[in-house]
Structure 1
Amino acid sequence: MQRSQEIPIHMQRTGFDPVPELSSLRQHDGIIRITSGFGLDTWLITRYADVRSVLSDWGSFSNTMQAGIQESEAPEPGDDTSAVLGTLNLLASDPPEHTRLRRTIAPEFTARRLRRLEPRITGIVNDHLDVLERSGEPGDLVPAFTSPIPVLVICELLGVPHEDREDFQKRTDGFLDITTSNAERAALQAESHAYMAKLVARNRVEPGDGLLGRLVSRHGTELDNAELVGLASLLLLAGAETTSNMLALGMFALLRHPEQLDVLRRDPELVDAAIEELLRWLSIVHNTTAKVATRQVQIAGRTINAGDLVMCSLPAANRDPDFVVRPDELDITRPASRHVAFGHGPHHCIGAPLARLQMRIALPALLGRFPGLRLAAEPEFRSGYLTHGLDSLPVMW
């Protein structure tokens, strides 16, 4: 079985890069009908200007997705998890409901709140560097460093007990693998939501000092349990997986571009610019969630009818030559760009500041601990996942 034939064009990569066919599509048509990784017929938008337009216009492109959900993927009537699985959360709601939910959680991602978390992130990073150093070379950065750190950070944020974190990672990996069957994926999602429901119930009785406890204390009468579960599950699923892959691919990209790594080593103050360029160039999230057109609209000369599904290709948009010069080159000295790696508009990733903070701490710490860091073998890219990443990153130092 050829996995590449099963993976939609917008999820295919050639190493770090989107496949040439996606770039050709952006150049010539800009839009195409595809079958998504979940088997839904949808329009795929590829040009930067069109992507920003779609993501800004929630009135024309709804995130509720009600028109596109297949009955076979929905929970059975009467299933105890159906209310939770179907609850509105930040990804599956529009203003004003989305505004209400986002307002409750946004203060947790302000610079002031994240500064309180910074010492703990630094501690987690240093602990894993200590273990990696003691284990000796060669080492694999994915299981030893880039994968566990974001999970621990998000779990610290939420107040997830240490003994529960390994099981969560396994559920996350299975759910994000599109080669997993619909039934298996639904079961993993149900398990995850059931666990988060227990954690929310625990915080209802005795609010902890994590994010869930603070939400219960401040917005307990405004947010019901299903909404709390939806918010917590989204942060875990989206925050841990994406940051893990950004750390791994970002480090690999720098090792593959030694001239860029040398620039960063000579001028550590470029770390923020390097992170933004890596976010743009890698664009590890293949696409936005599918949106439903609420009215007939024109995009790239094509007519999208009300009820049609629409997705945006983030890698194609961030590599658009009409957006940035030399888009396929990695250049950490490039002036800051308004990339869409975290999306755009009302649904811009609320956890973006936390992801940036983890990269700002982890990458310099890794390079500082191992100044001679280099590849020990050819890494393995992950295929078939909703985010681009690596299965391994073998290194020596």
Structure 2
Amino acid sequence: MGQDIGQLAPLLREPPNFKLRTNCDPHEDNFELRAHGPLFRIVGEASAQLGRDYVWQAFGYEVVRRILGDHENFTTRPRFTHAESGARIEPQFVGQISTYDPPEHTRLRKMLTPEFTVRRIRQMEPAIQDLIGDRLDMMEAAGPSADLQREFADPIGAGVLCELLGIPRDDRREFVRRLRRNVDLSRGLKARAADSAAFNRYLDNLITRQRKDPGEGLLGMLAQAHGDNITDEELKGLCMALILGGVETVAGMIGFGVVALLDNPDQIPLFFAGREKADRVVTELVRYLSPVQGPNPRLAIKDVVIDGQLIKAGDYVLCSILMANRDDALTPNPDIVDADREPVSDVGFGHGIHYCVGAALARAMLRITYQALWRRFPGLRLAVPIGEVKYRNAFVDCPDQVPVTW
């Protein structure tokens, strides 16, 4: 399997701005680190936060895919140790399916899956199109320039989530305001804690209402279909998981996608060359941009050898989705946008049992959004040089401002 299993990669210092990008590309430090191979050890802030002297960093496509797909040797359960293999999920993570292992994960996943069928997605499409149309009307009326991220991408990402969950229309403005403040990492811990408490109280009240009078959104459907088989805490946890995994990710993909498409304008006409071509552009953008750069850390629960390296039980592994999707082992010329490339099995939505349950909905929404945007504004262009697009400090990569004009 390559080198001897006792020969560990040298310890590396975690680079500054480890998660930041240059334009739509990974930060240049990532390319320097890639020279150390597909799997190596680092020390720094990440290892300190996880209470370890070091952590493993996986950059290679094959390594990342194997680790993400191996739930027998790795867990996503937070603060889990090898000696605590029977430990229960901690209260703050109840219902957050990305932190579950089988069989608990399997049970919750089966409950969620019917809410993301093709039929369910098609039922949502008219509401998504109306939401997009309303935002485009507002942009056009206030134009001919706008901050596309704040005036278009952010409201759509949050609006679709509200539609999915079944948030009452009268509650949506306050719901989104609390949500945005809750995920804004630039705000102090005390302020975020207060917003988090208020947000949790709202979710508690919402779930109580959905139990009594189930609506047609996901929360109502789950409450009606599964009753006492799913607890209030699990419903709230599933709701939080969808919020954390969906809102900023979708908003980021819309904003990042517009920037990438304006930098690669030859790809835009493909959105209007048939459904298959349009879907392939979305798939390529997900691979190229990978807004969720790193999924939950994986913790080894057994000694395991990967790519010739011994990962010991108790070691953490951080997987870089972005660098895996930019690996020559996945596809030739990975650092360019090319929707005509041969289809590949990228890891933009994850892999294995934690593959994003809402991936099909996200793809459909992105296709509809990009098509509607360029139908309305075929002359859309950036109002600043691409290097001046600002990015926010959030849980996932997301532009903070995307100034455009038309």
Say yes or no: TM over 0.5: yes
Q: Flag the 1:12–1:302 CA change in 2: closer, same or farther, 3 A.
A: farther
Matches of 2:91 and 2:178, distance apart in 1: 17
Taking the TM superposition and a 5 Å limit, the aligned residue runs for 1:108-187 are: 108-181=115-188, 184-187=191-194
Matches of 2:260 and 2:325, distance apart in 1: 16
Contact persistence 1:286–1:386 (CA under 8 A) = no
- Work out which of the residue numbers 64, 68, 83 in structure 2 matches 1:55: 68
Please say if 1:388 is aligned against 2:397: yes
- Of stretches 164-173 and 269-278 in structure 1, the one that deviates more from structure 2 is 164-173
Identity of aligned residues (%): 38
Taking the TM superposition and a 5 Å limit, the aligned residue runs for 1:239-318 are: 239-262=246-269, 264=271, 270-318=277-325
Where does structure 2 lack aligned partners over 5 or more consecutive residues? 1-12, 82-88
Q: Flag the 1:271–1:37 CA change in 2: closer, same or farther, 3 A.
A: farther
1:28 match? 36
Q: Specify the SS of the correspondent of 1:11.
A: coil
- Work out which of the residue numbers 56, 59, 72 in structure 2 matches 1:43: 56
Deviations 1:158-204 (A, max 9, x none): 11123433444344444444455555555544433332122111111
Paired amino acid for 1:60: N
Contact persistence 1:89–1:101 (CA under 8 A) = no
Contact persistence 1:83–1:226 (CA under 8 A) = no
Q: Flag the 1:182–1:299 CA change in 2: closer, same or farther, 3 A.
A: farther
Contact persistence 1:11–1:386 (CA under 8 A) = no
Q: Specify the SS of the correspondent of 2:393.
A: coil
Contact persistence 2:185–2:395 (CA under 8 A) = yes
Contact persistence 1:295–1:306 (CA under 8 A) = yes
Q: Specify the SS of the correspondent of 2:202.
A: helix
2:85 match? none
Where does structure 1 lack aligned partners over 5 or more consecutive residues? 69-81
Contact persistence 1:84–1:229 (CA under 8 A) = no
Q: Flag the 1:300–1:184 CA change in 2: closer, same or farther, 3 A.
A: farther
Matches of 2:329 and 2:17, distance apart in 1: 21
Matches of 2:215 and 2:270, distance apart in 1: 44
Deviations 1:305-338 (A, max 9, x none): 2122222100010001111100111112222211
Contact persistence 1:212–1:228 (CA under 8 A) = yes
- Work out which of the residue numbers 337, 340, 343 in structure 2 matches 1:333: 340
Contact persistence 1:37–1:178 (CA under 8 A) = no
Contact persistence 1:11–1:384 (CA under 8 A) = no
Aligned length: 380
Q: Specify the SS of the correspondent of 1:153.
A: helix
Deviations 1:218-260 (A, max 9, x none): 0012101100000111112221110011011101111112233
Matches of 1:88 and 1:8, distance apart in 2: 34
Please say if 1:375 is aligned against 2:382: yes
Paired amino acid for 2:59: T
Paired amino acid for 2:162: C
Instruction: Report the TM-score, using the length of structure 2 for normalisation.
Output: 0.87
Matches of 2:95 and 2:269, distance apart in 1: 46
Please say if 1:196 is aligned against 2:196: no
Instruction: Report the TM-score, using the length of structure 1 for normalisation.
Output: 0.88
Contact persistence 1:176–1:386 (CA under 8 A) = yes
